[in-house]
Amino acid sequence: MAQCAEIFNAHIDWALEHKTYNKSKAHRDLYSQLRLTYPDVPSALLQATRDNALEAIKQTKFKRKPRKKPTSGLRYDKRTMTLRGEQLTLSCIGKRVKLILNVPDYFREIYDNWDFRGATVTYTKQTKQFWVRLVFEHPDPEKLEHGDVQGIDRGLYHLCSTHDGKFFSSNKIRATQRRYLYNRKQLQQKGTRSAKRRLKAMSGREKRFMRDVNHCVSKELANQPEYRIFALEDLSGIRNIRRGKKLNKWLSSWPFSMLEDFLTYKSVALGKKIAKVDARYTSQRCSRCGYCYKANRKKSRFHCRSCHFEAHSDVNSGLNIRDNYFLSSTNWSEEQVAVNQPIVTT
């Protein structure tokens, strides 16, 4: 890793100096010299590092200087590793390293049927562990259907709710937060040493409670077998005017973003993904006819003044979020988006 980091950095310096990320030019200028400097590094690994470096500089358009540390991860490709059955061999200094993989049932289907593309090897200093990440690609990703995407709306009274009417209440969370806030104030006023000790223990308990709730909700969402993509409003950086001060505060709080983080990693582990979509007017616009009007929504009831579509307002938002995903994603034509399935509500 240390030697590859130096090779990587040498390519970055070269690319910045020559203002190019052309791989064969880099090869001509640097390869033989680097082979002499690092005779132990297998040539295929050197070339993989070169490709890695030049792609990194290409991405930054020469504006930043990507750097690797001596413990930075390594990228492996078909030249530097082989996967045969359950045995993975990796190029190394000296002999190739052989690993026998223990593939969990969970990943069996992917492992057996998808195309193996590459791997990265990383190192965690704290635990002194090496990690191998394997990348698989679906040979023929099926076309995305409307039914594969779930729109998820997030709010103050519901931690989140889905376009097909699943609600996850945040009453319990907010009640707990209020209780902790109250207790915290009491203890802070007291200010004694034992009060401080209790404050610390309490903050740990509050965090664990939030984690638990978010784990449960995100797990339930990610595990729904019928959905492959979860569309969420992109709330990063925008101050949402239609939402109140209280709600904006809640939306930018850590317990809230935790749900998104958990849902992201749980979805990825299942081969699904989350997508962020345009957050504007999702609560005012009618998801059936597209009529956008503030008075369409009255608290939790949505009633379209134009086509008289009625739904829970969070469900209507969820539908808009789902459809915004299709509007923004390029693999979907305009025609298909226009057809919204009307929802029959009671």
Shortest distance (Å) from residue 154 CB to Zn ion: 23
Q: Could you please report the per-residue DSSP string of 108-137? A: HHHHHHSEEEEEEEEEETTTTEEEEEEEEE
Q: Which is nearer to Zn ion, 186 or 345 (CB)?
A: 345
List of residues contacting Zn ion (CB under 5 A):
286, 288-289, 291, 304, 306-307, 309
Q: How many whole angstroms separate alpha carbon 255 and alpha carbon 261?
A: 10
Residue 53: DSSP 8-state: H
Shortest distance (Å) from residue 285 CB to Zn ion: 9
Cα 316 from chain centroid?
Answer: 25
Q: How many whole angstroms separate alpha carbon 121 and alpha carbon 321?
A: 37
Q: Which is nearer to Zn ion, 103 or 307 (CB)?
A: 307
Shortest distance (Å) from residue 318 CB to Zn ion: 16
What is Dmax (Cα atoms) for the chain? 76
Q: Which is nearer to Zn ion, 228 or 288 (CB)?
A: 288
Q: Which is nearer to Zn ion, 256 or 302 (CB)?
A: 302
Shortest distance (Å) from residue 175 CB to Zn ion: 36
Structure tokens at 43: 């040539």
Shortest distance (Å) from residue 151 CB to Zn ion: 17
Q: Which amino acid is at 107?
A: F
Q: Which is nearer to Zn ion, 92 or 292 (CB)?
A: 292
Q: Which is nearer to Zn ion, 111 or 291 (CB)?
A: 291
Under a CB-based contact definition with an 8 Å cutoff, are residues 163 and 150 in contact? yes
Q: Which is nearer to Zn ion, 38 or 302 (CB)?
A: 302
Under a CB-based contact definition with an 8 Å cutoff, are residues 49 and 7 in contact? yes
Under a CB-based contact definition with an 8 Å cutoff, are residues 101 and 108 in contact? no
Q: Which is nearer to Zn ion, 203 or 341 (CB)?
A: 341
Q: SS3 of 153, please?
A: strand
Q: Which is nearer to Zn ion, 159 or 304 (CB)?
A: 304
Shortest distance (Å) from residue 312 CB to Zn ion: 15
Shortest distance (Å) from residue 297 CB to Zn ion: 12
Shortest distance (Å) from residue 162 CB to Zn ion: 20
Under a CB-based contact definition with an 8 Å cutoff, are residues 27 and 58 in contact? no
Q: How many whole angstroms separate alpha carbon 251 and alpha carbon 16?
A: 41
- Determine how many CB atoms are found less than 10 A away from the CB of residue 175: 10
Shortest distance (Å) from residue 291 CB to Zn ion: 5
Residue 195, phi then psi, degrees to nearest 5:
-65, -40
Q: What is the 3-state secondary structure (H, E, C) of 224-260?
A: CCCCCEEEEECCCCCCCCCCCHHHHHHHCCHHHHHHH
